Structure 1
């Protein structure tokens, strides 16, 4: 697996589901139902502390598995993105090895 982190832009539907992913100057379309779950970050290993009363959303990160493609005839690719609920920031965190073509053609 290709594990890394890189900022991306995500366009959401009215139902707050990812529709498009902006990455490396290209717009990828989500072509299958996105899958969402939450992961706990290692807050106990960090020196920064949350202000009193500002805990919700700081411990858990929203993770999405997306099937994306550039065009209607392109094969779908799987990528994983995280969404920081506190800041609204989106990060590409994993591109499985099958997606080496994406990096090579971008």
Structure 2
């Protein structure tokens, strides 16, 4: 069994601002701006679309790639403690979700 320090699982919509290169720069969560303070980690996972949809339309786009970013953030330009946000974007969605927060 692995212990995780103070992890909160969420599934809430957030606004993410990106750099011109496409990496996260800041996250707006509950009306607060969290600035990215370290290099983010980016990866994709696969969704089992066949478990949630009865058919897949031809030319319907990428139905399986779930995009993730793990970012270390702090409140605005302050020296507040770093927190780790895991961001998720589901297939065919433009909305980012805050998957979890850990200290």
Q: TM-score range by the shorter chain?
A: 0.7 to 0.9
Gap runs ≥5 in structure 2:
1-6
Which of 59, 72, 76 is equivalent to 2:82?
76
1:30 to 1:85, Cα distance in 2 relative to 1, 3 A:
farther
| 1:94-105 equivalences in 2 (<5 Å) | 94-96=100-102, 98=103
Deviation at 1:68, TM superposition (A): 0.4
Stretch deviating more after TM superposition (6-15 or 82-91): 82-91
TM-score between both structures, scaled by the size of structure 2: 0.83
Q: Distance in 1 between matches of 2:41 and 2:94?
A: 18
| Correspondence 1:59 to 2:64 | yes
Contact 2:61 2:92 (8 Å CA) reproduced: no
Q: Distance in 2 between matches of 1:86 and 1:16?
A: 18
Q: Distance in 1 between matches of 2:59 and 2:79?
A: 49
Normalized per residue, which structure has more helix? Answer: 1
Deviation at 1:41, TM superposition (A): 1.5
- The size of the alignment, in residue pairs, is 96
Gap runs ≥5 in structure 1:
99-106
| 1:41-60 equivalences in 2 (<5 Å) | 41-56=47-62, 58-60=63-65
Normalized per residue, which structure has more strand? Answer: 2
Q: Which residue of 2 aligns with 1:104?
A: none
| Correspondence 1:26 to 2:32 | yes
TM-score between both structures, scaled by the size of structure 1: 0.81
